[in-house]
Amino acid sequence: MDNGFAGYQWDRNDNGSWKPFRTSTDGTGSSTENQFNESCSAQRTWEVPHDVGGLVSAMGGPGTFVRRYDFFFSMFSNIGSNWGGGANVRPDCRYFTAANETDLSAPWTANWAGAPSRVQSTVSRILSTEFKNSVDGIPGNNDWGSLSTWYVSAAMGLHPMIPGVGGFSVSTPRFQKITINLENGKQVVINLDKNPSTNGYISGLSINGQTWDSTWIPVEKVRNNQSVNTIDMIVVGQASNWGMTPLAATAPPSFGNQ
């Protein structure tokens, strides 16, 4: 138990045995030790993109998951790739960092816990506070474009969450209209009915005129024979219940032990 929660990714010794997990009096304990490259277990535990549904269950179900999510995003750290002077423990690693690639998909995980409004507010807060319109506007090492690419997907409200799977986890776009020109000459157009700067929550979504109830959009829904595919969103100023209980056929995918 660290930071008030149980269950963390951990590493093994060469012989396959688990390294010991310890707790400390301040609650940070082993979960914030530099056991992973440029990171710690408190951040790495969120990175199970192929089976976020399984992660939600392993953390104790949606309620516990959302409480843990709220704690993780209650503050932002700026660790980056430098742990400073060879320090082994960074207590601020218990919080999200936009300065490195260790936990960049974590903001969208609450879509698998039936809490899309958490995703929408969290992504907006990261974009507003961690990125700036200046020469030092990227919060850390861009590493071949990783942080700037993250900004683009977050600003579009479509994050390619699962490597190797064609689809996007949804958050609120940063702009009222976005036109994406595909390599085949076709387009995807995202339209919001109001300015998202004051209406940051999604209360309705349709794809090519058909109502869509899920926070996951398969790529084939917007990349097909149509010359223009449209995603239309209704946005409001307060959290709504859109996307909380999608139909089983449209729910965000998880692949488990396959």
Quote the mean pLDDT of the chain.
91
Give the model confidence (pLDDT) of 110-139 as tens digits. Answer: 999 999 999 999 999 999 999 999 888 999
Six token digits for residue 7: 């269950």
Q: How many domains does the chain have?
A: 1
By DSSP bridging, strand 96-97 and strand 216-218 are unpaired
Give the model confidence (pLDDT) of 191-217 as tens digits. Answer: 999 999 999 999 999 999 999 999 999
Six token digits for residue 14: 């060469």
Q: What angle, 0 to 180 degrees and rounded to 10, lies between the N-to-C axes of helices 116-130 and 146-156? A: 130
> d(Cα 244, Cα 257) in Å, to the nearest integer?
25
**Cα 12 from chain centre:** 27
Residue 4, domain member (yes or no):
no
> d(Cα 218, Cα 114) in Å, to the nearest integer?
18
Residue from 46, 234, 179 nearest 122 by CA? 46
What is the percent of the chain with per-residue pLDDT over 90, rounded to a whole number? 70
Residue 6 pLDDT level (bands cut at 50, 70, 90): confident
Residue count of the chain, please give it. 258
Helices (H), 73-210: 116-130, 146-156
pLDDT of residue 246: 94
Choice between 91 and 149, residue whose per-residue pLDDT is larger? 149
Give the model confidence (pLDDT) of 162-192 as tens digits. Answer: 999 999 999 999 999 999 999 999 999 999 9
Residue from 148, 145, 146 nearest 137 by CA? 148
Residue 255, domain member (yes or no):
no
Residue 147, domain member (yes or no):
yes
Residue 14, domain member (yes or no):
no
Residue 222, domain member (yes or no):
yes
Range of the domain at 114: 29-250
Residue 2, domain member (yes or no):
no
> d(Cα 107, Cα 47) in Å, to the nearest integer?
10
CATH number for the domain spanning 150: value is 3.30.2080.10
Residue 105, domain member (yes or no):
yes
Backbone angles phi and psi of 124, in degrees to 5: -60, -40
Residue 20, domain member (yes or no):
no
pLDDT of 87 over the 70 cut: no
Give the model confidence (pLDDT) of 14-61 as tens digits. Answer: 999 988 887 766 666 788 888 787 888 899 999 999 999 999 999 999
Contact 169, 216 (CB under 8 A): yes
